[in-house]
């Protein structure tokens, strides 16, 4: 049976603090382990008032200490902000204390920021379509956000003055060589670490190609870029070459999910998701996640975030199970990575518990 895993952003709800959000993450990780989830990954987000997962390696170490069997990892370390050596040493340190449980997921950040500046503000029109029951919406372009003064400031703050992000393929090669001990330099801790290396991507471009050509597992983002998920998995599989790590392609596909006892309750719990995504896409950064009551009073443009709302799986366990099965069937995913955000921590925990129970109970 296809495995289920979790991606957590350590969301900060309105009226809450980063400390409370991080304690909630540790609590959720412990409960996820008991529920049978395979992995617990944390994202890397910066300059977001409503997200506390700014330093994946630190948070992963804390989660690994609080748990005992679930795999813990990054979804993903943004390699444009750090050197390969720093990344390998950080994850090598965690692996030294929690051997054989750590996933090092890598994302292409610095290079992607440069590419966004070259993209046309008006993207070529593309129609929404349904592929064997899976909604593939119109694509969203971040080009306008990338041209904002605030975005440029953020980019400058994430790197040392004058620093340039190297080519993603070279970064991955350096990380692999440092871990394998075949690099001219030696990373301690890090060299010989039993970490599982992953590549995350949103399209069939360089991330998918690098993962495939090096025979690494690949995570495709339906929850971030649903319009390009099929392009991403197809690009990865087309580029795949067997490696010591993998004989065949291995794909995780992500999805935004909110599960409750019935469809109406789930829709109510998920109602703040639209204005929350809207705060990201206007360039302000993820706001603190509002309550359903607070969300009703917010002014936001649904059209700007329609692709994300329409591809969020909300409902009873049976409703969400059916949509996840469709996602798995159409993408051929070997594993699904679900992410859930609600205002109340108890509702988020319950959503994951209900989903795990339903997933294990399917014939």
The pLDDT value given to residue 266: 98
Q: Which residues contact 222 (CB under 8 A, 6 or more apart)?
A: 229, 253, 254, 255, 311, 327, 331
Tell me which residue has tokens 């399917």. 362
Assess whether pLDDT exceeds 70 at residue 122.
no
Asked if pLDDT for residue 163 goes beyond 90, the answer is: no
CA distance 252 to 101: 17
**pLDDT value, residue 184:** 96
Both structure tokens of 25: 């993450």
Confidence class for position 57, pLDDT limits 50, 70, 90:
very high
* Residue 153: pLDDT band with limits 50, 70, 90: confident
* Confidence category of residue 251, pLDDT binned at 50, 70, 90: very high
Structure tokens at 58: 């630190």
pLDDT band at 123; cut points 50, 70, 90:
low
Mean pLDDT of the chain: 93
Q: Which residue has the tokens 């990780």?
A: 29
Q: According to the model, what pLDDT value does residue 109 have?
A: 77
Q: Is residue 117's pLDDT more than 70?
A: no
- Match 């969301």 to its residue by tokens: 11
Q: Please tell me the distance from the alpha carbon of residue 187 to that of residue 210, in angstroms, as a whole number.
A: 23
pLDDT value, residue 165: 82
- Rounded to two decimals, what is the model's pTM? 0.94
pLDDT, residue 283, reads 83
pLDDT for 186-231, tens place per residue?
A: 999 999 999 999 999 999 999 999 999 999 999 999 999 999 999 9
Closest by Cα among 23, 63, 27 to 42: 63
Residues 312-350 pLDDT 10s: 999 999 999 999 999 999 999 999 999 999 999 999 999
Compute the half-sphere exposure of residue 305: CA atoms within 13 Å on the CB side of its CA: 21
- Res 141: pLDDT: 76
* 3-class secondary structure per residue, the chain: CCEEEEEECCECECCCCHHHHHHHHHHHHHHHHHHCCCEEEECCCCCCCCECCCCHHHHHHHHHHHCCCCEEEECCEEHHHCCHHHHHHHHHHHHHHCCCCEEEEEECCHHHHHHHHHCCCCCCCCCCEEECCEEECCCCCCHHHHCCHHHHHHHHHCCCCCCCCCCHHHHHHHHHHHHHCCCCCCCCCCCCCCCEEEEEECCCCHHHHHHHHCCCCEEECCCCCHHHHHHHHHHHHHHCCCCCCCCCCCEEEEEEEEECCCHHHHHHHHCCHHHHHHHHHCCCCCCCECCHHHHHCCCCCHHHHHHHHHCCEEECHHHHHHHHHHHHHHHCCCEEEEECCCCCHHHHHHHHHHHHHHHHHCC
The answer to whether residues 216 and 176 touch, using CB atoms and an 8 Å cutoff, is no
The strand pair at 251-259 and 3-8 is best described as unpaired
Query: Minimal CA–CA distance to 222: which of 145, 333, 124?
Result: 333
Q: What's the CATH superfamily of 3-361?
A: Luciferase-like domain (3.20.20.30)
pLDDT of residue 110: 59
Residue-wise pLDDT for 179-195, tens only, equals 999 999 999 999 999 99
Spatial contact of 38 and 28, defined as CB atoms under 8 Å apart: no
Q: Where are the domains of the chain?
A: 3-361
Measured CA to CA, the distance from residue 315 to residue 302 in angstroms comes to: 20
Neighbours of 285 (CB within 10 A): 16
Quickly state the pLDDT bin for 162 (edges 50, 70, 90). confident
Q: CA 176, CA 17: separation in Å to the nearest integer?
A: 37
Q: Express as a percent the part of the chain with pLDDT over 90.
A: 84
């Amino acid at each position: 049976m296809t495995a289920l895993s979790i991606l957590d952003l350590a969301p900060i709800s309105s009226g809450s603090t980063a400390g409370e959000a991080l304690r909630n993450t540790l609590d959720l990780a412990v409960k996820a382990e008991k529920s049978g989830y395979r992995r617990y990954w944390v994202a890397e987000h910066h300059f977001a008032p409503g997200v506390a997962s700014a330093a994946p390696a630190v948070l992963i170490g804390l989660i690994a200490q609080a748990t005992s069997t679930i795999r813990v990892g990054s979804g993903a370390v943004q390699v444009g902000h750090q050197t390969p050596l720093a990344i390998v040493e950080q994850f090598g340190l965690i692996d030294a204390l929690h051997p054989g449980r750590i996933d090092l997921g890598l994302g292409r950040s610095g290079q992607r920021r440069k590419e966004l500046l070259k993209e046309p503000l008006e993207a070529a029109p593309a129609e929404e379509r349904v592929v064997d029951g899976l909604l593939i919406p119109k694509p969203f372009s971040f080009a306008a956000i990338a041209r904002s003064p605030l975005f440029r400031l953020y980019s400058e703050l994430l790197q040392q003055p004058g620093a340039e992000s190297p080519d993603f393929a070279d970064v991955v090669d350096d990380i692999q060589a440092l871990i394998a001990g075949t690099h001219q330099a030696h990373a301690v801790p890090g060299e010989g670490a039993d970490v599982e290396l992953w590549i995350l991507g949103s399209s069939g471009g360089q991330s998918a190609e690098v993962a495939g050509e090096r025979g690494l597992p690949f995570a495709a983002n339906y929850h971030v870029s649903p319009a390009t998920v099929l392009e991403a998995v197809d690009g990865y599989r087309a580029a795949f070459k067997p490696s010591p790590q993998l004989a065949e392609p291995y794909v995780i596909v992500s999805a935004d999910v909110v599960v409750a006892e019935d469809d109406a309750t789930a829709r109510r719990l998920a109602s703040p998701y639209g204005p929350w995504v809207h705060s990201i896409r206007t360039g302000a950064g993820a706001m603190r996640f509002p309550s359903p009551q607070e969300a009703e009073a917010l002014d936001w443009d649904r059209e700007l975030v329609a692709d994300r709302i329409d591809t969020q799986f909300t409902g009873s366990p049976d409703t969400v199970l059916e949509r996840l099965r469709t996602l798995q069937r159409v993408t051929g995913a070997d594993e699904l990575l679900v992410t859930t955000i609600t205002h109340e921590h108890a509702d988020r925990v319950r959503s994951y518990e209900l989903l795990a129970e339903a997933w294990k109970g399917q014939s």
